[in-house]
Each structure stands twice: as C-alpha cells, then as structure tokens.
Structure 1
Amino acid sequence: MTDQQQMDLRKDEVEAGTQTGLASPSVDVTSGRQNSLWSDAWGELRRNPLFWIGAVLGLVFTLMAVFPQLFARGAHPRSCDLANSRATPSAEHWFGFDQQGCDYLANVVYGARSSLIIGVTAVLVVLVLGVVVGAVAGYFGGFTDGLLSRLADIFYGLPLILGALVVLRSGVLGRGTFAVAIALAVFGWMTAMRLVRSQVIAVKSSDYVAAARAMGASSPRILVRHILPNAVAPVLVYATITIGVLIAAEATLTYLGVGLQRPAISWGLQIDAGQDLLRSAPHLVLFPSLVLTLTVMAFIMMGDALRDALDPRQRA
C-alpha cells in the first residue's frame, strides 16, 4: 500500500468516526456475526427513548406527507379568502391564515410532501453514488482508488449549499422537486463514498472474501454478496442523519429563492413569505419553522440512536 493510499485510509477512518461514531469492524467479521450485530443493535434501540421519539415523529411526518388530508382538518391549501388574511390561530383554525387568507395548517401539512420527497430522493442518490464509487475505489485500489479519491476531494472543496445554489441558479436542472434533490445529492455523496471505501478496505482482506475469490467468484459478486453487506452499517447511520440535513438544506435553498418556486408548497417558501410579516403575523414564520425543526430533529435522533446501537464501544 502506497503512502498516499495509507493517508487516504486514515482520512476515511477519521471521517467515519466523525460522521457516525462507529468503530471499524474487524477483518474477520462473518455473516453470522453481522446478523448478531444487527440483532444486538435492535435490542439497544428498543431501550433507547430517543430512538422512539425520533421514530414516532418521523412516522407522523411521513404520514403527513403521504396522507396530508388526514392532518389538514378538512381544509385545502388552495382554498383562500382574503377576508381572513393574516388571521391569528383559533380553536377552529389552529395555525391561523396566511396573507392570502388560506388555512395555514393545511399549507404546513401539505408542505411536508415536498420536503420529504426531496430529502429521501437526495439520500437515495447519495447512497447510490457513495456506495458504487466507494466500493470500486476500496476494492480495486491503486490508480482507480487514487483517481476516485481525488475526485471526491474536489467535490469536498465545494460547500453543499453553495454548490447546489450555483447549479440551481444556472437553470441547468430546472427548479422542480427532483432538480433540487439531484443538486443536493451531487454535492453530498462524498462522505458516504469515504465511509464505504474505508469499510471495503477493512473487509476485503477477510478470510471469507479470500475463500470466495479462490472459488472463482467474480469481483462484482464478491463486492455485492460478501463485502458490502458487512460494510453498510456506518453508511445507514449517515443516511438517516443526512435525510434531516438535506431537508434543512432544501428549506434554505428555497428561502434563498433558488429552490422550489410557487405554486409549489414548501416550508421554505412559507418562511420566506412570512419573514416580512414577522412583527404583525409571527405565526407565519413560527409554525413552518417549528415543523421543519421537528422533522430534522426526528431523523437526527434516529441516526444518533442507530449509531450508538451499532457501536460496540457503547455496549461494553
């Protein structure tokens, strides 16, 4: 292993510890032990109240995105009456009305769909890019590893929000839901790649991998069937936390005017519209900000609980 590869591996291990807090698995991890790890992790999760708080909140917001009519109390976000403009919350209308006289509870509820679709879609793309690039770099090493690692370093030099802002403002991808998700994923896959790469390097020298290679298994089969199943734990932790981070990033981009555009319904758009009315109608900023915060917190809490459950040092 060259000095540059050793340096990259140490960088990956530091990155993995910073992002997930997980200890790297030993090289003699077997399939049975991996199953035991997940079984023990579930036992830890069941006893962790923070996990259940995050899971319940995440379930509520997911149901809100899938079935918004169940939470909007019969109101529709497009049904407006200017006579109710900026009316404060009441027993009949819990979140009051916005500037156009639309029921604000319905708007906040329907805004969950766009935010969650963007967060989940972006994370799926991040996982695909990170797992594929990281697995190839870690398994083949050498020139391939060096090239892909330097490519990741280039993207690391561009902050997530700034990079997505430039891409969306250029209009190359448009301003729709999937355009925002892709823009966030393009500048957010590098940590997942580093995590997978470091885990693959640690696992690929295991005895069972050597046995599979001796039996004539192809490289893709070894990667998919033997290496990746034993290298996904820190990536799943990272993905859970990143959903919340990307939802917050989407709201930030939309607030800055480069994310979703009206007539889309989004928490970022609602916060942007309410900022000029903060003194006269503070509920226009308070409620979408509160729901956004709880959504991000839910996924981060689940990710932290999963990290602690999968870390053997936490169970020592």
Structure 2
Amino acid sequence: MENTQLSFKDRVVVVTGAGGSLGRCYALSFAERGAKVVVNDLGGTAKGSGESSSAADAVVAEIKANGGEAVANYDSVENGEAIIKTAIEAFGRVDVLVNNAGILRDSSFKKMTNEDWDLIHKVHVDGAFNLTKAAWPHMLEQQYGRIINTSSAAGLYGNFGQANYGAAKLGLLGLTNTLAIEGQKHNVFTNAIAPAAASRMTEALFPEAVIKGMKPELIAPLVVSLCAETSQENGSIFEVGAGWIGKLRWQRSAGVSFNPQEELTAEAVAERWADICDFTEYDTPANAMESSAPMMRNLGIKM
C-alpha cells in the first residue's frame, strides 16, 4: 500500500473534519503513503449542528481495507486536546496536523447574529488553536512537525454574506504566520491553503459543471507535499483548486514619504493619493521587519 516517493512511514497524521470531501481525501492520501492517521469528525451538519460517528468510522474502515492504519475520533475541534490525546494513545506521537474542519453560517452582515459570528470563530479559529496548542509541545520536543491551516478566498478577498467566515479565515493566516516564525528553529513548519473544492459546504455556491471539475482529490497532493519531511516551505499561503496551484504574497506600493518633522495634514495626504496608490514600483515585505523598513528609513534609521 505504501507509496515510497513521498513516504510518511512511521509518521502520525491528525486530520480534522476527515469524514468526507477534503478531509477524507487527505486522510486517504496520507494513509496510502504509510502514515498512521487519526480521522477526526464530529459528524455534524454543515452549519454545525448534530453529531455522528458514522462519517469517521467509514473513512477508518476504508483505510484499513486498503491495508493502512487509522483510528477514529469524534470530538469537536473545540476539544482539541482530546483529539491529540487520541493520536498519542494510539500511536505514541503526532507529526502532522491538518486543521480542516469547518462549518458555514452565511448571512448578510445586517442579518448576522452573535451566534453566527461566535460559532464560526469557535470552530475555525478556536478549533485550530486548540488542536495546535495540544500538538505543539509534542512537535517541539521531537523537533519535527508539519501543520496546515485552512484559509479561504473569502478571507483573502471577502465575500458577500461571509463576514464571519472571512474574518475567521484571514485570522487563521495570522496564526499561520506567527506559528511559522516560532516553530522554524524546531523544524516545525506551518503553512496555509485556500482551497476551492466541491463539498457539502460549497455545492450550493457553484454550477454543476464547476462542481464536477473542483474535485477534492485535486487539493490533497498539495497538502501531502507541504507536509513531507523534505518540504522546507514555511509561513506560506497557497490558493488551490481544479488542478491549479498558486502561491500568494503581500505586494505594497512604493508609497510616499512625508517629512516626519513637519505637520502632516489630511489635505496633504489627499493631494498625494494617486502616488500613494501607485503600484508602478512595489515591494513584497515578507515579515514585520521588512514591513517597517520604509518607515524606519523615513526616520533616518538604517536597518
């Protein structure tokens, strides 16, 4: 069963929301390459209600039928410690964490309730935090780990009716960036993906022809590649779907320098607005220090 090109032999992989669609494809792909997999799925609806063990059990059975090793976990991602505990008790370690579980509570901002907002953040942001917080000490101790957080185009660009979802998904990118910095010296790398794939959460958003082409199987290869021992990618975000993969970066205009020793007025800013927003020349800051460089130069400070 094991694919030896990118092998995960003796590695333990935890995938949340692994009872269907993307999560199922991730779990199967890792298992095919020799990983021991914790298949987590609460078994609830796309809106976060209800629970069932059948989804996770079915994926575990599928992995075992193909000669792989897997165990099921039915906890909510709000109880991340219990999910990681399953990995430790069953297999003795955790090497890869794919924070995939998610729900939707779409509504125009005018109609959005506090519950709509809070529940999305509990599942997406708090869920990723809880899982990663529980896995982090194990990864640091063994000096190895790979973490994937799931962002979204809704977070990167915004989308009508998804203020809650978009805010949570961009928040996960902020979490990814900091984990990448703190984990790098320990060989713990964290990246994010913004996948476009057919699932129970997206089937109502796209025409049937598009849904057929947006197979979740086309997302899994990127996730597996990023989590391989040979991958040195860290702190990056990738958009992926329909057989296309692209890496994103921040791009910033050259900007305008005003004299910090003189009064700056709103009128002066308005007068230079076209120059402030001109991308004829630009830079691509990759971290907070690079981001602050032009401000420091404007103060006469060399970096």
Q: What TM-score, normalized by structure 2, do the two folds share? A: 0.22
Q: Which has more helix, going by share of residues?
A: 1
Q: Which has more strand, going by share of residues?
A: 2
Q: What TM-score, normalized by structure 1, do the two folds share? A: 0.21
Which is greater in Rg?
Answer: 1
